[in-house]
Chain A
Amino acid sequence: MTVIEQLEKYVAQEFLGQPGEAIPTDLDLLNSAILDSLGMLKMIAWIETTFDAVISDQDLDPENFRSIGSIAEFVERAGSVRTVA
């Protein structure tokens, strides 16, 4: 799976409670209340584990977590990307 596919699957499962739900990659996750600050922390822990990325306090800009697209860009910048078969 690509990073975007992995992110879509994770967000649908963890934050929508609806596995398989299609999420537009440009959907504003913060303003649509899908992701809040607690959700961001959860997401960071998942990104660190899933993608071997190291995330510092300086990276905690909400803009990095605005949409699936921006999270994917951030993940690719933050560390080595592991693609799940």
Chain B
Amino acid sequence: MSTAALDGTGLARAIRQSIERDGCSTALVTSDKEVGFAELGRLADGIGEQLTAAGVTPETGLAVLAEKSVPVIGTVLAAAELGIPTLLLSPLLPGATRRQALQESGCGFLADVSGPDPITRVESASGPSNCALMLTTSGSSGTPKVVRLGAAAVARFLRWGRTTFDLGPDRASLSLAPLNFDLSLLDVWATLAAGGSSVLIGEQTALRGAEVLHQIARHRVRLVQAVPLFFHQMLEAAAGPLDCVEHVIVTGDRITQETLDGVRLIFPKALLHNVYGATETNDSFLHTITPTDPRPQVPLPIGRPIDGVTALLVDDDGRPVDGAGTGRLVVRTPFQADGYSDGDLHAASFITRADSGAMFFVTSDRIRRDTDGLCHYEGRCDRKVKVRGVLIDLDELEVVLCRHEAVREAAALATPDPVSGQRISVVVSVTELTPGLGVALRLHCSGSLHRAGVPGAFHLGTGPLPRTTTGKIDRRRAHREVADTERKIA
């Protein structure tokens, strides 16, 4: 690799240093091989030449279909080296949503390393804004939001991750999350930048607890970061404690008492971190429990703002809450995105404070602050829920359903689920009950929504949905009536 000056994130430069220090040391572990830093560097060199030959430049940008694989990681590194803004795109996004995200990002090329044409030109690309990485929010993706991460913000996060979680040479991190998730900034990119190795677990394997625990023990993994679902799966398969793990990060959702107790048993020597953050801000709050602390009770606090984070709570009238109290979180972090690609969306969620001129992200989360400054997650201000760690907008799901010609109205509701966090079910009033309509509606949803946003259960009927006294759909009553009917049938 050569042109380090353009590598604003420091990622490629850090990897080159690892090659010089010990090129044979392991950078990536997959199900069937281990890849050293020197090999990864050579791979990135070759891909960099291909990108240049294809005409990919910092002005065109590059979208990468982010299958979790060594060639994809090599592609991202090559793009970082060449200073090319890179969009990490979920391979699971439905076609129309993918096209929308691509257009939103402005990227002029798409890299699909497993396809017949690894690098293809994207029609009518406008060119990306100046940034290092672009992620899409883990929303239900009817309207994908492309989050632009600047090089300096990414560089600050790589440094923070390294010092906070003791990343370094000969120390392995487990990569369970998809590569396009913000979690990968820590367990893949910060780990590699620190000279450590990332143990890549594919989507099909990630939920097989026994296999994941085997990989942790085999590669003496020091850092495990996951949403509670994955820990739940590990506990089901756990045979005994694993002393190698030093840091366990729980993020993305609330953990149950049973899973929390189990995690402390199978990783008895680990510091347990409850991390709060959003794709737009990255990690913002941290709460750490040591192995000798008394048994923590759920829900765990989200803790206190990380160094350099400014967290404001705002009440329903937009007034700041000082000291103890509850309000919507408005936050600014050192790792924060430059914003969304879409100007209107950006203006709705990012505000610049008149007093400091600093940009803050307006979350949809309600946070309670204790008298001693410890913060707790209280819930959301909107109808978004987490399903398997993915943020799903129930309002948006209803809108998508109502676009189907057979649907009059729909009421989506989420109920707590010990495994997936929340389970979505939907009561749908249709014009006519025809054979196969349930499957047709599911296909309709999967064409526009993230897979996690497709309801687990559809309840179809031809009658109108119940209303509240103010004329709004009474979602809880609609679901209660369905449950009552099903009980009677059973």
Contacts and interface: CB of A to CB of B under 8 A. Distances in A.
A33 B451 contact: yes
Given A16-B457, A37-B203, A38-B207, A21 B451 contact: no
Contacts of B204: 37, 40, 60, 62
Given A27-B439, A32-B446, A57-B211, A17 B459 contact: yes
Contact of A38 (B420, B438, B455, B460): B420
Given A57-B211, A60-B204, A33 B420 contact: no
A23 B229 CA distance: 29
A54 interface: no
B438 A16 contact: yes
Contacts of A32: 439, 442-443, 446
A2 interface: no
| Binding site secondary structure of chain B | mixed
B207 A16 contact: no
Contacts of A18: 438, 457-460
Interface in A12-48: 15-18, 21-24, 27, 31-34, 36-38, 40-41
A34 B388 contact: no
B425 interface: yes
B436 interface: yes
B207 A41 contact: yes
B299 interface: no
A57 B237 CA distance: 15
Contacts of A57: 208, 211
Contacts of B442: 16, 32-34
Contacts of A16: 438-439, 442, 457-458
Interface in B170-209: 203-204, 206-208
A24 B388 CA distance: 28
Interface string B384-425: 000010000000000000000000000000000001100001
Contacts of A23: 439
B443 A38 contact: no
Given A17-B457, A22-B436, A31-B446, A37 B206 contact: yes
A31 B95 CA distance: 11
Contacts of A37: 203-204, 206-207
Contacts of B455: 17
A38 B418 CA distance: 13
Given A38-B388, A38-B419, A21 B211 contact: no
Nearest to A21: B438
Contacts of A38: 207, 229, 388, 419-420
Contacts of A24: 436, 439
A57 B204 CA distance: 10
A24 B443 CA distance: 12
The 8 closest A-B pairs by CB, nearest first: A17-B457, A33-B454, A33-B446, A33-B451, A21-B438, A18-B438, A32-B443, A32-B446
11 contacts: A17-B456, A21-B439, A22-B435, A24-B439, A33-B442, A33-B446, A36-B388, A37-B206, A38-B388, A38-B419, A62-B204
Interface of A: 15-18, 21-24, 27, 31-34, 36-38, 40-41, 57, 60, 62
Interface of B: 203-204, 206-208, 211, 229, 388, 419-420, 425, 435-436, 438-439, 442-443, 445-446, 449, 451-452, 454-460
